[in-house]
Amino acid sequence: MTPLLELHQLAKLQFDNREEYLFRPITSKVAQGDRIAVIGASGQGKSTLLRILARLERPDEGYMSLDGVSDKDWKPAQWRKKVCYTAQHPVMLPGTVEDNLQTVSRLHSLPFDAPAAKGYMGQLGLGDLDWKKEASSLSGGEKQRVALVRSLLLQPDVLLLDEFTASLDPGSREGAELCVRQWADTSKAAVVLISHDMEQAERMCSVVWFMAGGELLEAADAGRFFAAPETEAARQFLKRHAGEGETKNV
Ligand SMILES: Nc1ncnc2c1ncn2[C@@H]1O[C@H](COP(=O)(O)OP(=O)(O)OP(=O)(O)O)[C@@H](O)[C@H]1O
């Protein structure tokens, strides 16, 4: 099967030092149905990598292909409809919650699926949220969930989630994880998520990309990685995280 998304020698230089890599060339792929956890200490470039995959940032080296077609042959907007990034601190567009839910569909010339939006909002514990409320007045956790609904409504092939439960209480986190899992199972989409919560990474993902020392150091089956990582850096990283709960950053 052709992988959905392929990374060909994708690399990024440090933003403030163009002599050094933020991460050295990465060659990997994301296939339909994949659940990939991107983990590693702060500052390794995990968010930057996901933003590159969503074409919100440019790589300094390498290229990507989607459905076997090189990124240069894709219109960025079309790409971003298929590979959708949900930021850790999402920006709400001006207007109400409803405007926010609808705008993304409008941008991509898709009909607004109100029943689906209602369903996702309910699953995410936002069933009682007034859609007429100004989106800018929402709490961080509410914004994060509205942004997730915006992404799900696009029905992307690859959903990129950046610490998508970081602002949520444990109950809401559970709902959000379940919602994403059910959505991905039904749509057969791939999910690539950044998490600092190793239990969440284990619960949600079958593959781990471990970034350390400016590279993708391990790309491994999640069960194997958590049981017996290959590198000393990963062993130390997991030791530091042992017993830590959600929201703990390194
Ligand atoms: N647009 C930017 N301009 C300048 N520096 C940036 C920019 N984006 C990221 N950086 C820097 O690049 C490095 C990697 O950032 P990135 O957010 O990708 O790492 P991360 O692994 O996701 O970290 P964390 O786990 O803390 O979210 C950091 O030092 C960050 O400050």
Q: List domains and CATH numbers for the chain.
A: 90-158+166-187 (3.40.50.300), 217-249 (no CATH)
Distance 232 CA to ligand 1 centre (A): 24
Q: Is the pLDDT of residue 122 over 80?
A: yes
Residue 28 scores a pLDDT above 80: yes
**Per-residue pLDDT for 245 more than 80?**
no
pLDDT per residue as tens digits for the range 137-179: 999 999 999 999 999 999 999 999 999 999 899 999 999 999 9
d(CA 23, ligand 1 centre) in Å: 11
Q: Ligand 1: does its nearest atom lie under 6 Å from the Cβ of 46? A: yes
The neighbouring-strand residues paired with 194 are 38, 162
Ligand 1 lined by 175 (C-beta under 6 Å): no
- pLDDT for residue 250 is more than 70: no
- What separation in Å is there between the alpha carbon of 14 and the centre of ligand 1? 9
Q: What is the pTM of this model?
A: 0.94
Among 12, 42, 53, 89, residue to substitute to test ligand 1 (most atoms within 8 Å of Cβ)? 42
CA distance 104 to 238: 38
